[in-house]
Each structure stands twice: as C-alpha cells, then as structure tokens.
Homo-oligomer: A and B are copies of this chain.
Amino acid sequence: MTDSLKTLSEHRCFGGVQRFHEHASREIGLPMRFSVYLPPQAEHGPVPAVMYLAGLTCNEETFMVKAGAQRLAAELGLALIAPDTSPRGQAVEGIEGAAASWDFGIGAGFYLDATAEPWAEHWRMESWLIHELLPLATQAFPIDAKRVGIFGHSMGGHGALTLALRHPGQFKSLSAFAPICAPSQCPWGEKAFRGYLGNDRSAWLAHDASALMQSQGVAPYPEGILIDQGLADKFLVEQLHPHLFEAACFAAGQPLTLRRHEGYDHGYYFIQSFIADHLAHHGKLLRAASATSPDE
C-alpha cells in the first residue's frame, strides 16, 4: 500500500519533521494529498496521533501552517495527520458544479461518501480516511494505530464528530473547533447533503452529528468531548448550531465541554488561541489508551 506514497516535501520543525505526501488513492480513484507531523519521539518508536479535518476551502497544508500545533505536539509526543478536503485536479475540475462555489465540490468534501451522481465516483472522503489513509499512515510512519484521536474545524469539525460516531472504537479522543453541529438544519449542510446524498432527508441523518448523538444508547466518549466556539463567529447562528449538539449530548449522557469564547471569530487566530487545550485533551486520553501490543 505504501508503494504509491510520494513525498512532496519535508521540513524539520520543533525537532520533529513536517511532511507532505501524495498517494494514488484506491477509494477516491485519484491522487490525494495529506500532511503528517512526526514529533521527535517518533524516532524511538510508534507514537499516538491526532487526525485534523480542515474546513471549507482548506487543504492539507492549512492546519500545519496556521494552527501553531507542532510546538505542543512535539512536547506531548503526538503525531498530527491532516488530509486534503476533497478530490482535486483535472479529472474532477470538469464536473459541472465541482468548482462553481466555495462551499460545495472541490475543497468541500464534507468527509462522507457521496451516493448521488456525478459525485459518487470520486467523492469518497469517509472511505478514503477510514479505510485507506489511516491504515496507510500507521503502516508508513511510526504511528500507533490503536491510539488515534480526531478533531477538526467547521466542516472538519462536522467530519470529526460524525466519523468518530460512525466508527466506534476507531478513535480514542474527540474534539472540535466551531463544528457544523447539525448539517441537516443549516444552509451549508443542506446544500452538501442534497448534492452528495440526494433529496431523501432521512439519509442525511447518518451524517449529522446531532442526530447521530441523539441516537446513542450509551455515551460513546465517556471521557468527554471538547468543543470550542467563538461568539464573534459570523457563521455561528446560521450554520453551526452547537446548542443542538449540546442538547443531544445531554440526552445521550455524553459528557461535553462546550466552551463559548467572547470576541473570537471563525478563523485560525481563534484556533491557535485554543489549540494547546485540544492537544492536551487528546494527549491525555491517548496516553491513557493502551499502546498496540507487539503481537497484535
């Protein structure tokens, strides 16, 4: 599987290495890009990792450049994995609607497998991440497959919450910055779900974090979920709906730390202000998770 792994660049950073890669994705059917930060501890053996899913218009570079995450990742011995946000390139640029808007198509994969045409062939972000990229990353790099957390921002916050709820056991820790909490009930989500999943709203609920949480019998993340939300975020009222996820967590008995921050907006100046708390959250839970034993 690692045969197709191409290194685009590598940069020493805080004693570790920031790497950018491309591989021929089987699930997407196209080359896909991602970045990995390996902390200095990875030179001595497998380390836990956190996968970060970025928001609309972003790519595999955004988080690594703008979040200021590597400093604490190096300190805590956490690897970071950041995938691109959709298929890209000539093969998909010609699809009608793929490049027409910033909140759908290219740069806006919403971390699900599309079932509607013409998206179903390449827009398979969920399968790419879960069945291909994570196995690839844990095989190609000194990353412990049993100790992986997930977080994300905005559309990527939606991705983190939904993938963590749809794939129990896959992720040991979960957090989000300003996530789209109830995509079935906001313009960004409605546009994306209608396009990728079709008009049947009942199919949307399987990719809606609040609906997924509402349906849980027991708390899926008993150690708690961390969410930070800026109160000067211009998308808060119309698109994000954290109160719906909060209510769903309450109903499911899921511990949630939802922090609302006066004055902070939707961007990376907000994210970098609180990134340390998220990495500490993941670091604590991933250190507590058992490492992969040699015979597994």
For window 12-41 of chain A, which residues contact chain B by CB distance below 8 Å?
12-15, 18
Instruction: Knowing A66-B65, A66-B66, A68-B71, say if A12 contacts B272 (CB, 8 Å).
Output: no
Measured between beta carbons, the chain B residues less than 8 angstroms from A276 are 71
CB pair A272–B230 under 8 Å, yes or no, is: no
- For A15, give the chain B residue with the smallest CB separation: B273
For window 167-185 of chain A, which residues contact chain B by CB distance below 8 Å?
none
Instruction: Knowing A18-B269, A65-B65, A65-B268, say if A12 contacts B263 (CB, 8 Å).
Output: yes
Number of interface residues of A (CB under 8 A): 24
For residue A132, CB closer than 8 A to chain B, the reply is no
CB pair B65–A270 under 8 Å, yes or no, is: no
For residue A11, CB closer than 8 A to chain B, the reply is yes
Interchain CA distance A44-B172 in the complex, whole Å = 43
Contact string against B for A residues 41-74, beta-carbon threshold 8 Å, 1 for contact and 0 otherwise: 0000000000000000000000001101011000
Nearest 8 interchain pairs by C-beta: A68-B68, A13-B269, A11-B269, A12-B263, A12-B264, A14-B273, A18-B269, A13-B273
Given contacts A12-B261, A14-B272, 12 further A-B contacts (CB under 8 A): A11-B264, A11-B267, A11-B269, A12-B230, A12-B232, A12-B270, A12-B273, A14-B273, A65-B66, A68-B272, A70-B273, A71-B276
